[in-house]
Amino acid sequence: MGAHLILPLPITPHVLVTSDIAFRLSPCSQHIHSRGGMIVNNLSLCYQNKLILAPMVRVGTLPMRLLALDYGADIVYCEELIDLKMLQCKRVVNEVLSTVDFVAPDDRVVFRTCEKEQNRVVFQMGTSDAERALAVARLVENDVAGIDINMGCPKEYSTKGGMGAALLSDPDKIEKILSTLVRGTCRPVTCKIRILPSLEDTLSLVKRIERTGIAAIAVHGRKREERPQHPVSCEIIKAIAETLSIPVIANGGSHDHIQQHLDIENFRQATAASSVMVARAAMWNPSIFLKGGLRPLEEVMQKYIRYAVQYDNHYTNTKYCLCQMLREQLESPQGRLLHAAQSSQEICEAFGLGTFYEETTRELDARRAELLARTPEELGEPAEDSSGVIKMAVKFDRRAYPPQITPKMCLLEWCRREKLTQPVYETVQRPLDRLFCSTVTVAEQKYQSTLWDKSKKLAEQSAAIVCLRSQGLPEGRLGEESPSLHKRKRETPDQDPGGPGSQQPAFPGELCKKPFMALESEMSPLEGR
d(CA 157, CA 528): 11
* CA quadruple 385, 389, 392, 394: dihedral sign: negative
Confirm if 284 and 325 have CB atoms less than 8 A apart. Answer: yes
d(CA 136, CA 122): 13
At CA 323, angle to CA 320 and CA 325, rounded to 5?
115
> Both ends of the chain: CA-CA distance in Å?
29
Write the DSSP string, 312-345. Answer: T--HHHHHHHHHHHHGGGGGSHHHHHHHH--SHH
d(CA 323, CA 345): 16
Confirm if 320 and 303 have CB atoms less than 8 A apart. Answer: no
d(CA 390, CA 468): 11
**What b/e readout covers 75-109, taking b as 16+ CB neighbours within 10 angstroms?**
bbbbbbbbbebbeebbbbbbbbbebbbbbbeeebb
Alpha-carbon torsion, ordered 397, 402, 403, 405, to 10 deg: -80
Half-sphere exposure of 277 (CA within 13 A, CB side): 26
Alpha-carbon torsion, ordered 415, 418, 420, 424, to 10 deg: -10
3-state secondary structure 279-301: CHHHHHCHHHHCCCCCCCHHHHH
Cβ neighbours, 10 Å, residue 291: 10
The single-letter code of the amino acid at 392 is M
Q: Is 153 a catalytic site residue? A: yes
3-state secondary structure 446-460: EEEECCCECCHHHHH
Write the DSSP string, 57-122. Answer: TTT-SHHHHHHHHHTT-SEEEPPPEEHHHHTTPEEEEETTTTEEEEE-TTS-EEEEEEGGGTTTEE
Single out the catalytic residue among 28, 78, 114, 153: 153
Write the DSSP string, 111-134. Answer: EEEEGGGTTTEEEEEE-S-HHHHH
d(CA 98, CA 118): 12
Residue 141 DSSP class: G
**What b/e readout covers 295-334, taking b as 16+ CB neighbours within 10 angstroms?**
eebeebbebbbbbbbbbbbebebbbebbebbbeeeeeeeb
Please name the residues in contact with 444: beta carbons below 8 A apart, sequence gap of 6 or more: none
Confirm if 55 and 80 have CB atoms less than 8 A apart. Answer: yes
Residues with catalytic roles:
153
